[in-house]
Chain A
Amino acid sequence: MQVFLQTLIGGITFGAVYALVAMGFSIVYRTMGLVNFAHGSVVMIGAYAASTFYLATQLPFAVAIVVAIVVTGLIGLVIERFLRPLENKDFTLMLIGTIGFGAVLEAGAVLVWGATGHAVPSPVATAPIDLAGVRIPTYSLMVIAIAAAATGLLALFLQRTKRGAAMQAVAMDHQAATAVGIHVGRSNALAFAIGAGLAALAGSLIGPMLYVNPTMGGTLGIKGFAAAMLGGFGSMPGAIVGGLAFGLLDSFAAGNFQEYSELVTFLVFALVVMIRPTGIFGEATVNRA
């Protein structure tokens, strides 16, 4: 039972981060119909930005997270601006463009921070909470809380604000949205910026749990993408459920299948996607590709 609960804790913590990454993938996809392959690299830049700021200034970690979100949000805007001329013209080129941006970001990180990377000390120094032998690191609780808060804020934005509603409209039918006077380009830029901001949040949170280096975005990107697919690509609740499901799947596979854990995780993933190609919360309407 203890092993089960401990595995659950690990799975949920990493799952919360995957969910944030998945939400970033989904918000860009639902608005533009585009898979942003640079997303993993943006996560990495976010991790670097937050950890470098945190280590250099000794200001609270929350400030570092905000700085990272601003930095990567700007990067998101730049990527969108570069891709805008291709919007609704050449979709394949846009996809390749995002892959290119990913490579550029990774190479840029090596130039700025070097290839070696750095470890980030945990921002909360308190001992783990002990619940009948199950140990919950306080930092894990913080990660889960922040991820939940970010999800709530995003939902509020999309459903309760004019800009959010405009983004939803573009996601549903961009031609009709243009007809009623919504600026599609601006809406796309906002989607990219929010996606990048979510990536930064995920990156900054995972930094102290891992080791920050230029290639860390690869695995996180793939797992976040798989999580988004699992939940239903383009769906926000899907991204959250998919992220948590993927984190738990990963965690339980590690305990039960040892060296075959990765194989098992992705086999289960492939099976789910075969049975339900649109994912758990699949929305067929968002498919603009």
Chain B
Amino acid sequence: MFFARFSIAAAALIALAACAPPGQQAESGAGATGPIKIANVNAQSGQLSSLGQWEHKGVKLAIDEANKAGGIGGRQIKLDLFDSQGDPTVGTNVARKISSEGYVAMLGTAESAVTLAMAPILKDAKIPNITSGQSPKLADLKSPFLFLNAPTSVTFDETLAQYLVDDKGHKKIALISNNGAYGSGEHDAFLAALKSRNVTPVADEIVTPDQKDFNSNLAKIREEDPEVLFIGAEEVQSGLIAKQSRELGIKAIFAGGAPMGTDVYAATAGQENAEGSAVSSPYLSNDASEEIKAFAAKYKAAYNEEARMHVAKAYDGASILIEALKQTKGEGGQKLADAIRGVKRAGLLGNYNYDANGVGIHETKIGLVKDGKVVPEAAS
């Protein structure tokens, strides 16, 4: 009897020991040898998997280059890919996994909702995360371990409002956005930018991220006959909204953030429907500068497909991480987070200069969709 009780207690102790704080057994000190483990977490399946696959290709390109050039002080970087399925619940499971398996940093995800769910776990485990999400809620977390490789929606939409209202003089603006993490961030940021210009939207329709039929919402918008229709949604949904708008005879200019600069948007909407859409983005095209041209050529050689913003920002994020790792000599934790914050880099998306909230880039440019591709506004 005593023995039985003792063995139960022993088993309980062992179980407790197995639950040691995550990251404890990680080999991340300055004197460590062996590869440095970096996790890339992105949707590899599900509706948002196209983003995840682009992100991974961009990250891999940067890491492969660094490894070829000798790695970090002679140590190679080991990049492992995790599928978040674009699902916050899956994301938190992955966050626990990477914090218990000795990863020094995480790159991704492309979905704000997933990154938001993962952030508290990564913060506790002191694992710096460079994300491709751009919801203002990410910056609001003020986590010292969370960094964005792109501007937040606030910057995107401020630039967009400036172009539409200040430069073009549009006053009749309608909004349609979904209530997901990205869509609601876009909605709030654009509405705030309009408010600061004393413009009240003529319509403000909210849809669900899963919605496919927008006839009802768009019929209401059509009654107001807006000059501009702001769309705050991901690539596919933005495309469906644009397509159904034109079917209903809405003639407004479509305007939105980075998703509307993708070919997925143009293909879903149909090229003639997407024509003329105004896009606010830090990365307009593959020939915006000499650096970007060189990068696009390199990317095409590696993967035989065209580069795009998601690839470029993932590449930028990975490059910043590599630069910071070189400074810490492969060490993770607080030291790595501080090093990332200190990196000043002229990247593909702009000049990175991290603020206290982890936002690195503070401006975007305006482009227009022409023949399914984005061209800088001034040139059109």
A11 touches B268 (CB 8 A): no
Cβ-based interface call for A285 (8 A): no
Cα distance A262–B216 in the bound complex, in angstroms = 14
Neighbouring A residues of B220 by C-beta, 8 Å:
3, 255
Say whether, besides A10-B216, A14-B213, A210-B212, A119 and B45 are in contact (CB < 8 Å): no
B247 touches A13 (CB 8 A): no
B216 touches A251 (CB 8 A): yes
Mark interface residues in A110-139 (1 if CB within 8 Å of B CB, else 0).
Answer: 100001111101100000101000010100
B210 touches A255 (CB 8 A): no
Cα distance A137–B214 in the bound complex, in angstroms = 13
- Name A1-45 residues within 8 Å CB distance of B: 2-3, 6-7, 9-11, 13-14
Mark interface residues in A223-267 (1 if CB within 8 Å of B CB, else 0).
Answer: 000000000000000000000000100111011101101100000
B216 touches A259 (CB 8 A): no
Neighbouring B residues of A2 by C-beta, 8 Å:
219, 222-223
- Name A142-162 residues within 8 Å CB distance of B: none
Cα distance A230–B162 in the bound complex, in angstroms = 49
Q: Which of B26-34, B122-130, B165-173, B201-209 contacts A (4 or more CB under 8 A)?
A: B201-209
**For the side of the interface on A, what is the size category?**
35 or more
Cβ-based interface call for A209 (8 A): yes
| Of listed B52, B207, B248, B249, residue having the most chain A CB within 10 A | B248
Neighbouring A residues of B53 by C-beta, 8 Å:
115-116
B303 to chain A, nearest CB (A): 13
B267 touches A118 (CB 8 A): yes
A-B Cβ contacts below 8 A, count? 107
B213 touches A251 (CB 8 A): yes
Say whether, besides A14-B213, A251-B215, A128 and B247 are in contact (CB < 8 Å): yes
Cβ-based interface call for A211 (8 A): yes
Cβ-based interface call for A215 (8 A): yes
Cβ-based interface call for B357 (8 A): no
B219 touches A255 (CB 8 A): yes
B207 touches A213 (CB 8 A): no
The residue from A3, A211, A250, A251 contacting B223, defined by CB atoms under 8 A apart:
A3
Cα distance A117–B247 in the bound complex, in angstroms = 23
B263 and chain A: residue at smallest CB distance: A119
Say whether, besides A14-B212, A117-B50, A135 and B206 are in contact (CB < 8 Å): no
B interface residues with partner A (beta carbon < 8 Å): 44-47, 49-50, 52-53, 178-179, 205-208, 210-220, 222-223, 236, 239-240, 247-249, 264, 267-268, 270
